[in-house]
Structure 1
């Protein structure tokens, strides 16, 4: 960081320091309407999370903020990776996202109990909501009737800070964070301020809270890759007997993103039994970045020299193109290639200029009424989500003398282009065509819910819980056609120097990849130019000016109405020796109707179509918690859950051509408005031992079956008396998931003075999944994206104003994609993109400078964990994505 940046950062920190008292959402059992209580520090937050886990009627794990504006991690998704049973991935911008609960991504996300979503999707992009606005997160791994339906994996409820969570009077809190990545020469900043006032009036107590934050982050993430393994015997001269990559190269995702957020919450309590509230939230995301490729199609080389191989020889059936083919009678004896030089070979660089923005709005209000006998709550809400993405791609290339590769050096592949020929502007030509991939989605949902509980003082049934919910959602999606005009004059014909493009059209890549040409930069089209000069590009490529029109066959509109009602009994039985049995028995009925409009193409003619569909489902649930002692309890739960199909899969548009030859069965493709929801039956059993207010150990067994998984399948369909092979999403799949979760936290109070501030946390998850669909190519394989083993271990310290934590998060290998065969490796060929086991180490150390001011220092991925995928064997890497390491400092102040 240069001196000027340090001065600016110091000034910003000094200007933003102020103070507050702190509080968070209090843990509560289902349907209890309790105020938030004061929570300060790691230990206190873990105690509150433990109370939520212990007292819930469901299998729940919780995260509670250490202090106001201080979530354990910078984003919700990053904090979720610490929860037992949750696995995440690191995104292109070095941001944690895409959580799975016990291997399943169909998650219902709620914000204070309201269902939220991103774009036209069913799920929510957790990274789009900054952690500054949250007091806690509850992760429901088992369901009960009062929870909103729509996800087979579970429910994640995000809880905001609220004014009645603070003491009477003004509360002001500010925070600023600065973070530096090793791959970006720029300091990333995040700042926020919260102002809340709780006061008495002649008409009752009121509270108003305003919270705003802004984050500006730069990123650069490099990737090296080997393409499909293939027999060199069928390639350029000199490669016989070796398995070599079809192509090699790397890419760098480099750019920045911003996240503005604003949250307003008003509460009014005119009497002890009545509360009225209104709220609004805005969360935005905007990014501009480039994906910069360097690439060589090495199988198009004139010859191969300096070939070295490794490992034992094996035989494989290979077709004429050099790919694995079980039906081939040609058997070749092969060994894995280790290194080689490819001579007189095509080289290519490419820029994908991308921009994306998302705007999320949540508005709501409601009334809560509570007495000794009745709880009643009415909530109205509106959710709006808008998302747009633009990608412009231009490829350029030239013939180069040679490319030397090292397939695997133990941690990645290496590509060398002697003399860095792509670092010279001379002789670059346009390659391939211009691609402009744009899409936009808009979705709005209005909802009203009524929840209540009758409290009974005697008898087996202690509470009758009931409720209803109605929602009306509209969704629209628009996209441009695939492909685009070809390269000017043909592929690799027109010299860039002979075009009318300005001199700064070609730029040196802003990001680097250390294993490509020793980190040397190469020339590539400017991402800024591609974004800002699309008319000039289209004219050069011979296309009409202006953005390409939306493609009607990709566009769709959906209107979906959902009504649900539930009834649930909370029971309680006193047993002998002070034991207590309690739990829930109930069910929820959900009915969904929708109208879907799309456009297909028949013989090239647009064919608009609208379909109306509906379905109804009863979702029973039951749970039992046996409290053996004050410290020891066991629980059993069962619930049926559903997940509605994605709107894109429901698009009724169908494209096909009527055949001219009656002896040939034609094909077609489209969406499927008749898809059924996925359903799941979930069973959980836990044993939990709470041996202190902030220490526990628990074990859980779980088993889940999933029916009607959605996958693309091809079946014969008869249309106007003609048989067609129609490919579209279908309810094809069944799968099962079972496993074990172990978790604990323990504060070591028995240690001597000073050491008694230590604590440890640990959890382990076994997720044994299987695709059970008979005849499926993946039958018997685990679910994609699911690691069988994962764990977290952490060391905590809190004493003398020091707050510190070190956490290591690890997951075993998993399959990230399916190739469908055809790739040559030992055995029966590579079928999966398998990701190697990986772990990340994070830490944070804070110190209370005064009662109101805390400074902290943290590090993320300090061990340099990375994504390493391979083709069947770790000796033949596929993608090696170099996740960045960050170090940062923050100042929080409150009064």
Structure 2
């Protein structure tokens, strides 16, 4: 049991007690001070109306809040919800959740230069189950963030980003909470509303045009006591990502390696283990919808039932043709004339040696999917004039699945030699190989990973919230309530295939070629005219020559126990929050009590079968069970002061908590046979506790005009960083325990301090501009392998610049977003970073009639390359995804 009471907690508790005493002295009777908002009379459309509504919500809030309001159904300021949020000050986005590399669509959201797992995403104030399509994110790298690729913008009415905490907010977001608000049936102005969107997306790299369909129907009766809303969407998109990848980073030549013995000046020098020409293609086919029903049996009671589902098929094919430095650069010294700069073998040529393979080529086709759904029942009950309540019960689930992996790994260019030339961490490596790199030059074949991987994320919850209102004295209301949630996250790998003579069938299979302009946006000189087996050829050869086993227990089974784990958490919380208002000021003080109980189940590899609990072809394992229990008081305080009619000052202080990533707690250790590196979990990790301070000055100098400047700090105890250690893991190549360098999560301390500046102004009747800048300085007490103290996900500089034009029939918007470099995590045992990154987007829309509008959105118009690097001298990867264009026709009936 872990129970801590900080000075901030004591101060908030004292404040709460004082507020109750003060109110008792000032008022003995009270009536409600709030009036119901007549949502029927509020219709906000257009860019200018959206900006105005967002600023009004921000200004009236007691806490630090950023708001994005959709101009209309399906008309957020960007096509993707996460892309929209990245334009807010202090918000960062990333396009991947594990080691799948950079894509053209934002997938994760984080706040103020921290990890996405520290930012909580809710829908209508409740949790949403999430999972990913990428196999590593399904099993070995599973965070607590939500995949925004499952959340279409058509569902969104507005998005609130809570930068300061309040006791009444659900705990879990140490650095903040994103709350996505959908429309409700009784909010619509008309009795019947029907809308549809028919469009297409053009993906430049994929040379593909695909359909985008969505629709909405809403009915409410004349009395406004019953309403039903139905939304549906079906959206398909082809991706083609063209890249140079360096999987696992660079390795160091050892003193006992033959190359180090013959050339002592190479000992300790870094060389590339793998240099790849990488083509990734994927079809994302997303469909689903939202159904919401509201019923008011009386003026004091509103009942609601809501259900949401999003199902994305995400089959993908990744081909990586690689120079295999790890196979020859240790054993063979480069030809004379090589160069070493800053400890890196920057230029090297290797004459061909008979019997040596200089390339390895991975072709990996995966059938994959990701799903998210929830169902809620809620009741809003005005108990009396002074007391209101809201009850909700719900369930949510997410599932990511890779039921089949069709993989071929071939070696080749035997005896052909190789060469490379590096140009620093910001430029691709020039490389080439000799010998035969056609299908006829293949010298060996292997397959691995034909294993099912399924991730499941489930939660059931109940909440009860109350508000007691007063109309006299400083204390305006008290919010109090409780929440109980039962959450489970698990990774399953129950069955797989025993391969037979796949190679004989595959040799005659159909082949294709990389695109003729492959990686033209990446630069560098490396092989581009590359063949591959088609997905159907790969599938047919593997399915026709493998034995898929469903009885997987026992020493001959295909049950991969080492890839399975489960984290079960029970969360009970209760809170009280006092809300104050005075002459030109308002605020709140609150406490939230949280109790967490965790059950963690995983497996550990052992060498002696006699000691094993379970065994299979993947080795012998013992079950490992850990129970953790924590309880904490989390205080919060928010104050707003109207210094003048147009000048607002805010101050906030809080303590917030986030539990470690699921895989950081539960994942069993795993390894890659190519470079003998891997990762694993640590069930003894403690929750992160962050002490936060925030101050902001806002000048609303004109309608739709704002200048604000603020500062923030977060002092994080038990932040999760990653160290490395040597572990004995089961090797699928040798079928025994081998030594691997494994990345292991550990607790450390960290801090973030920063500054936010924002500017928004209309120009005349039709134009407007906006800009914001965030400086975030983060560090941790943990020292990474490269000697740095960097914080995961911390970009020092983020800024956004935008402009718009809008009249009665035509609108246009352009924006540029920039994020400086930041630490991604570990590639093998080495830290690696994403380089500076900026994107340009634009949109135009035309209102042809009252019932038809046409819009064209362009994303990634500057055709950026997403670069990753290990250091200033060692690159990691370079990804180019091309531009995307969305054309939509929106109909209102």
Q: What TM-score, normalized by structure 1, do the two folds share?
A: 0.81
Q: Which of 338, 359, 366 is 1:347 aligned to?
A: 359
Q: Which of 564, 569, 579 is 1:560 aligned to?
A: 569
For the aligned residues, what is the CA RMSD? 3.8
1:53 is aligned to 2:58: yes
- Show the 5 A alignment for 1:402-801: 402-403=417-418, 405-408=420-423, 411-417=427-433, 421-422=436-437, 424-479=438-493, 496=503, 499-501=504-506, 503-504=508-509, 506-509=511-514, 512-514=518-520, 520-531=528-539, 534-538=542-546, 549-574=558-583, 580-602=584-606, 603-604=608-609, 605-606=612-613, 607-651=622-666, 671-711=681-721, 732-749=747-764, 756-773=765-782, 781-801=789-809
- Show the 5 A alignment for 1:367-378: 367-370=379-382, 372-378=385-391
Q: Which of 871, 879, 882 is 1:881 aligned to?
A: 879
Aligned mates of 1:634, 1:553 — CA distance in 2:
54
Per the TM alignment, residue 451 of structure 1 is displaced from its structure 2 partner at its CA by 1.2
1:803 is aligned to 2:811: yes
Per the TM alignment, residue 372 of structure 1 is displaced from its structure 2 partner at its CA by 4.4
Q: Contact between 2:845 and 2:854, CA under 8 Å: does it hold in 1? A: yes
Per the TM alignment, residue 800 of structure 1 is displaced from its structure 2 partner at its CA by 4.0
Aligned mates of 2:439, 2:874 — CA distance in 1:
33
Alignment deviations for residues 845-880 of structure 1 (CA, whole Å, 9 cap, x no partner)? 11111122111222111112111223422x653311
Question: Could you tell me which residue of structure 2 aligns to residue 217 of structure 1?
Answer: 237
Question: Could you tell me which residue of structure 1 aligns to residue 732 of structure 2?
Answer: none
Per the TM alignment, residue 592 of structure 1 is displaced from its structure 2 partner at its CA by 1.9
Per the TM alignment, residue 385 of structure 1 is displaced from its structure 2 partner at its CA by 1.7
Q: Which of 258, 267, 273 is 2:294 aligned to?
A: 267
Q: Which of 385, 389, 409 is 1:395 aligned to?
A: 409
Per the TM alignment, residue 298 of structure 1 is displaced from its structure 2 partner at its CA by 4.5
Aligned mates of 1:246, 1:90 — CA distance in 2:
26
* Greater RCO (Cα-Cα under 8 Å, separation 6 or more): 2
Q: Contact between 2:834 and 2:866, CA under 8 Å: does it hold in 1? A: yes
Alignment deviations for residues 526-551 of structure 1 (CA, whole Å, 9 cap, x no partner)? 3334445544444699x999997332
Q: Contact between 1:430 and 1:487, CA under 8 Å: does it hold in 2? A: no
Alignment deviations for residues 463-504 of structure 1 (CA, whole Å, 9 cap, x no partner)? 11111111222343213699x98997xxxxx9x5xx233622
Q: Which of 174, 178, 183 is 2:200 aligned to?
A: 178
Aligned mates of 1:835, 1:537 — CA distance in 2:
41
1:63 is aligned to 2:85: no
Q: Which of 370, 387, 393 is 1:358 aligned to?
A: 370
Q: Any idea what SS the aligned residue of 2:506 has? A: coil
Q: Contact between 2:406 and 2:538, CA under 8 Å: does it hold in 1? A: yes
Q: Contact between 1:53 and 1:60, CA under 8 Å: does it hold in 2? A: yes
Q: Contact between 1:253 and 1:292, CA under 8 Å: does it hold in 2? A: yes
Aligned mates of 1:863, 1:857 — CA distance in 2:
16
Question: Could you tell me which residue of structure 2 aligns to residue 101 of structure 1?
Answer: 111
Alignment deviations for residues 740-796 of structure 1 (CA, whole Å, 9 cap, x no partner)? 0111211012xxxxxx411001010001001124x6757762212221001000011
Q: Contact between 1:30 and 1:57, CA under 8 Å: does it hold in 2? A: no
Q: Which of 271, 278, 303 is 1:276 aligned to?
A: 303
Question: Could you tell me which residue of structure 2 aligns to residue 332 of structure 1?
Answer: none
Q: Number of residues paired by the alignment?
A: 791
The runs of 5 or more residues in structure 2 that have no matched partner are: 1-32, 97-101, 132-141, 614-621, 671-677, 728-739
Per the TM alignment, residue 363 of structure 1 is displaced from its structure 2 partner at its CA by 0.6
Aligned mates of 1:342, 1:281 — CA distance in 2:
60
Alignment deviations for residues 42-75 of structure 1 (CA, whole Å, 9 cap, x no partner)? 1111111111211112111111111112222222
Q: Any idea what SS the aligned residue of 1:359 has? A: strand
Question: Could you tell me which residue of structure 2 aligns to residue 869 of structure 1?
Answer: 868
Aligned mates of 1:858, 1:820 — CA distance in 2:
38
Q: Any idea what SS the aligned residue of 1:109 has? A: strand
Q: Contact between 1:431 and 1:487, CA under 8 Å: does it hold in 2? A: no
- Show the 5 A alignment for 1:146-157: 146-157=168-179
Q: Which of 374, 378, 381 is 2:394 aligned to?
A: 381
Aligned mates of 1:31, 1:479 — CA distance in 2:
54
Aligned mates of 1:275, 1:111 — CA distance in 2:
19
Aligned mates of 2:784, 2:837 — CA distance in 1:
29
Alignment deviations for residues 161-199 of structure 1 (CA, whole Å, 9 cap, x no partner)? 222221232111111232212211210221101011111
Aligned mates of 1:122, 1:589 — CA distance in 2:
21
Q: Any idea what SS the aligned residue of 2:75 has? A: coil
Q: Contact between 2:498 and 2:548, CA under 8 Å: does it hold in 1? A: no
Q: What TM-score, normalized by structure 2, do the two folds share?
A: 0.81
Alignment deviations for residues 180-222 of structure 1 (CA, whole Å, 9 cap, x no partner)? 1221121022110101111136xx6211110000111100101
Q: Contact between 1:445 and 1:471, CA under 8 Å: does it hold in 2? A: yes
Per the TM alignment, residue 684 of structure 1 is displaced from its structure 2 partner at its CA by 0.3
Per the TM alignment, residue 654 of structure 1 is displaced from its structure 2 partner at its CA by 9.8
Aligned mates of 2:166, 2:35 — CA distance in 1:
12
Q: Contact between 2:103 and 2:881, CA under 8 Å: does it hold in 1? A: no
Moved more, 168-177 or 863-872: 863-872
Q: Contact between 1:707 and 1:734, CA under 8 Å: does it hold in 2? A: yes
Q: Any idea what SS the aligned residue of 2:466 has? A: strand
Question: Could you tell me which residue of structure 1 aligns to residue 24 of structure 2?
Answer: none
Moved more, 628-637 or 596-605: 596-605
Question: Could you tell me which residue of structure 2 aligns to residue 752 of structure 1?
Answer: none
In 2 relative to 1, CA 777–190 (structure 1 residues): closer, same or farther, beyond 3 Å? Answer: same
Aligned mates of 2:338, 2:805 — CA distance in 1:
52
Per the TM alignment, residue 93 of structure 1 is displaced from its structure 2 partner at its CA by 4.7
Q: Any idea what SS the aligned residue of 1:675 has? A: coil
Q: Contact between 1:600 and 1:670, CA under 8 Å: does it hold in 2? A: no
Aligned mates of 1:486, 1:200 — CA distance in 2:
66
Q: Contact between 2:490 and 2:567, CA under 8 Å: does it hold in 1? A: yes
Alignment deviations for residues 587-614 of structure 1 (CA, whole Å, 9 cap, x no partner)? 1101122334444455341244544432
Q: Any idea what SS the aligned residue of 2:439 has? A: coil
Q: Any idea what SS the aligned residue of 1:164 has? A: helix
Alignment deviations for residues 355-410 of structure 1 (CA, whole Å, 9 cap, x no partner)? 22122221111111236422211111111222212434321122253545453497
Aligned mates of 1:239, 1:33 — CA distance in 2:
78
In 2 relative to 1, CA 365–336 (structure 1 residues): closer, same or farther, beyond 3 Å? Answer: same
1:297 is aligned to 2:327: no
In 2 relative to 1, CA 690–715 (structure 1 residues): closer, same or farther, beyond 3 Å? Answer: same
Q: Any idea what SS the aligned residue of 1:426 has? A: helix
Aligned mates of 2:725, 2:537 — CA distance in 1:
45
Q: Any idea what SS the aligned residue of 1:862 has? A: coil
- Show the 5 A alignment for 1:113-128: 113-119=125-131, 122-128=144-150
Q: Any idea what SS the aligned residue of 1:78 has? A: helix
Alignment deviations for residues 559-610 of structure 1 (CA, whole Å, 9 cap, x no partner)? 3222111111001222xxxxx1210001110112233444445534124454
In 2 relative to 1, CA 476–508 (structure 1 residues): closer, same or farther, beyond 3 Å? Answer: same
